[in-house]
Structure 1
Amino acid sequence: MSGNLARKRNYVKTQILFVSLVLPCVVQAQYVNQGNVVSVTGDAEVKVIPNQVLLSLGVETRDKSLAAAKAKNDTAVRSVLDAIRKFQIDPTDIQTDVIRVDIRYNGSVETVVDHYVVEKSIAITLKDVSKFEPLLSAVLEAGANHIYDVEFMTTELRKYRDQARALAAKAAIEKANDLADAAGLKVVGKPTSVSSYSYGGGAWYGRRNSGGFNVAQNSYQGNGRGAAEGTIALGKISVTASVSMNFRME
């Protein structure tokens, strides 16, 4: 009985000794694997002159007679389309939507129709931005009474996003080296991880379902080069990218 107890005590001591010897090794190994790591993020912005405009407008007519409201709308839409064609825009870049009809009831008698509202929208892709303001004036004079959306954009968005991403990556690498120098270390090898995202590439004027044309002047940074003559000066679209990297230092 006493012999078995002695063997158990020796076994427990052996286990405790083994754990005490191994545990520091495990902790030390984890510390060495972690090393010195610096995490940095580089940001870049590329300014781009827009080369295309997407214009969405509408023609609305009203009358107590549905037939009369529709006839007025058809006439106004034809007039607007004629005005658009004078700018030599490709027919494939002019799209008309289906007609929409809304019934407005008498305020005092809800079952009595007061008048009908007929509306049709037209979408235009303008590939010569210098024609934007003259075109806008022409369609409004021809009968368009809604400007839904105006988007200035570039057809080379992928190219400029790649440029912004490359500049952001360069900025991240420079930042990592600067931080390492400040700490008395140096960056070793290539980044251990890289992540990036980009945004931008368009700017909007106007607002949905608005009868007027509201210019959001802060959407652009004004620039004389590439600006169309007139009261609406075209600036540059902002394409932005961020790149995050992790580097080892020693």
Structure 2
Amino acid sequence: MTRSRTSRATVALAVTLLSLGLSAPGAAALDGGHASAPLAARAESAPTTVSVAGDGSATAAPDLAVLSVGVEATAKTAKDAMAAQNKAADALLKAVRKQQIADKDVRTDGVSLNPVYDYTDGTSVLTGYRAAQSFTVKVRVIGRAGAVLQAITDATGDAGRVHSVTFDLADREPLQRAARKAAFTDARKKAEQYAALSGRKLGRLVTLSEGSTGYATPAPPMAADMPAGGVGAVPLAPGEIKATSSVTAVYELV
């Protein structure tokens, strides 16, 4: 009776181990000497894959000009400097509004008031105060960017400052999607080539991961804090916006 129970327990253990792809003493006899068959079959069925990197880019003409402008005034007293700055800033904002720039597209970036010193013979002498305010102005019609700059310089005179002009897209996502598509297409073409070189055909996509993405906006050269007089007459060249993307793809080879 004890021997019968032991035999049944041994058989049950062997069956359990075989179902897990393992072997145990005596298990080979139960499977005709092929206890390792599930592991071997699993190894033989492992797919051959190819891993490739894809790079892509897309370009588009900008539809937005971003002006970084400001005003600056110096006076003997802080009160007079702020008063002069306020007057120039008010003139700038009125000029921008006359150019039909919406209030949501005009933002104050900073306001400052600093003492001005004259350093002579190793000593510093307070000579006055400098007040300044900087703005970001978005021009949503590229062709009007030069006119807006001209209006600002005319309104602010010597107090006006043009820090920079950059061009951008109001909505970057469509261009970035196009760059991703180009990167994916590049990766697939490479995988197809490797499949052909190895005498295989391209199978299913196993994994896909996104790498780096980039976005470049053109900016015409313009000196920071350049006095505004005459700058509005400089022609502007918008150039192109460029988005880039990279992916890594793994395909089966069949």
Alignment TM-score > 0.5, same fold: yes
Choose which of 97, 100, 105 in structure 2 pairs with 1:85.
97
Distance in 2 (CA, whole Å) between partners of 1:109 and 1:25 is 92
**Does the Cα contact within 8 Å between 2:218 and 2:238 map onto a contact in 1?**
no
The Cα of 1:30 is off from its aligned counterpart by: 8.4
The Cα of 1:147 is off from its aligned counterpart by: 2.8
Report the residue type matching 1:79 in the other structure: A
**Does the Cα contact within 8 Å between 2:164 and 2:224 map onto a contact in 1?**
no
1:235 aligns with 2:231: no
Distance in 2 (CA, whole Å) between partners of 1:169 and 1:91 is 41
Task: Note the 1:55-204 alignment, pairs <5 A.
Answer: 55-97=67-109, 99-107=111-119, 108-110=122-124, 112-143=125-156, 145-188=160-203, 190-197=204-211, 198-200=213-215, 202-204=217-219
SS of residue paired to 1:156: coil
Distance in 2 (CA, whole Å) between partners of 1:69 and 1:50 is 38
1:193-217 Cα distance to aligned partner (Å, 9 max, x none): 101243216444567x92139xxxx
**Structure 2: any 5+ residue segments left out of the alignment?**
1-24, 228-232
Distance in 1 (CA, whole Å) between partners of 2:236 and 2:154 is 18
Report the residue type matching 2:138 in the other structure: T
Report the residue type matching 2:241 in the other structure: I
Report the residue type matching 1:82 in the other structure: K
**Does the Cα contact within 8 Å between 2:110 and 2:135 map onto a contact in 1?**
no
Larger Rg computed on CA atoms: 2
Residue of structure 1 in register with 2:252 after alignment = 248
Q: 1:30 to 1:211 in 2, by over 3 A?
A: farther
Distance in 2 (CA, whole Å) between partners of 1:201 and 1:44 is 14
**Does the Cα contact within 8 Å between 1:147 and 1:206 map onto a contact in 2?**
no
Q: Could you say what the CA RMSD is over the residues aligned between the two structures, in angstroms?
A: 3.2
Alignment size in residue pairs: 214
Tell me the TM-score normalized by structure 2.
0.71
1:51-98 Cα distance to aligned partner (Å, 9 max, x none): 112222111111222222122212221222222122111122222355
What is the percent sequence identity of the aligned residues? 24
The Cα of 1:247 is off from its aligned counterpart by: 0.9
The Cα of 1:137 is off from its aligned counterpart by: 2.6
